[in-house]
């Protein structure tokens, strides 16, 4: 995992977007993908909203994914393995970059064919605790024509990232607007935020 951590930090320093092509092993990614599919067929995913607390709204013209929050209380072996990896990464960040991360939240995200998420920032107006966004992809055999790319808006242009299995994207939640382009097949990920007090 050390190389994945180093890849994320070094690419973040270079371009404000950290990338690792293999943050999740193929085995763990496969188990997490199976979990997400089971949750979907069991009707346990919820329509994702925009905003927080009493300001939460659902708007399918803006955001079309369905989500399910990860929690150690689920006692799911593979979710806990994933969260163990996040704990290791946070320890690395706090030790090497003095980032001051004190918590996190992550959810599965499933986009069906034809869905998308329009340009947005990952931070609430009344809560600035989200420091960094992380996205880990669970899509086996992804092809360019499948769509669903992540588009990140930099000052000097756009960065397009393919949602490839096991890869990770990392950036400051308050700084970079981004969108999920229209999916041409089912698209799966784990998305979340590293938080500060």
Tell me the pLDDT tens digit for each residue of 181-190: 999 999 999 9
According to CATH, the topology of domain 2-49+65-195 is Jelly Rolls (2.60.120)
**What is the spatial distance between Cα 17 and Cα 157, in angstroms, rounded to a whole number?**
13
Domain ranges for the chain, please list them.
2-49+65-195
Q: Which of 178, 133, 134 is nearest to 160 (CA)?
A: 178
Q: What is the pLDDT of residue 58?
A: 61
pLDDT tens, 47-100? 986 555 455 456 667 889 999 999 999 999 999 999 999 999 999 999 999 999
Q: Which of 192, 194, 28, 191 is nearest to 110 (CA)?
A: 191
Q: What is the pLDDT of residue 127?
A: 77
- Residue 57 neighbours by CB distance under 10 Å: 9
Q: Which of 17, 3, 5 is nearest to 172 (CA)?
A: 17
Q: For 153-168, what is the mean pLDDT?
A: 95
Q: What is the mean pLDDT of the chain?
A: 93
pTM summary value: 0.92
- CB-CB contact of 190 with 108 (8 Å): yes
């Amino acid at each position: 995992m050390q190389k994945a951590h180093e890849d994320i930090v070094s690419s973040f320093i270079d371009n404000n977007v950290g990338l690792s092509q293999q943050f999740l092993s193929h085995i763990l990614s496969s188990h997490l993908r199976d979990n997400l599919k089971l949750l979907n067929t069991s009707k346990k995913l919820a329509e994702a909203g925009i905003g927080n607390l009493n300001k939460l709204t659902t708007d399918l013209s803006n955001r079309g994914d369905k989500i399910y929050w990860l929690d150690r209380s689920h006692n799911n072996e593979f979710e806990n393995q994933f969260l163990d990896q996040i704990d290791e990464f946070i320890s690395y960040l706090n030790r090497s970059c003095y980032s001051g991360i004190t918590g996190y939240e992550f959810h599965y995200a499933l986009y069906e064919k034809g869905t998308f998420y329009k340009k947005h920032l990952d931070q609430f107006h009344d809560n600035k605790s989200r420091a960094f966004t992380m996205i880990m992809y669970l899509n086996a055999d992804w092809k360019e024509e499948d769509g669903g790319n992540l588009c990140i808006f930099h000052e000097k242009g756009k960065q397009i990232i393919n949602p490839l299995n096991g890869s990770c994207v990392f950036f400051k939640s308050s700084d970079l607007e981004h969108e999920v382009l229209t999916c041409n097949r089912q698209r799966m990920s784990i998305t979340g935020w590293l938080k500060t007090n």
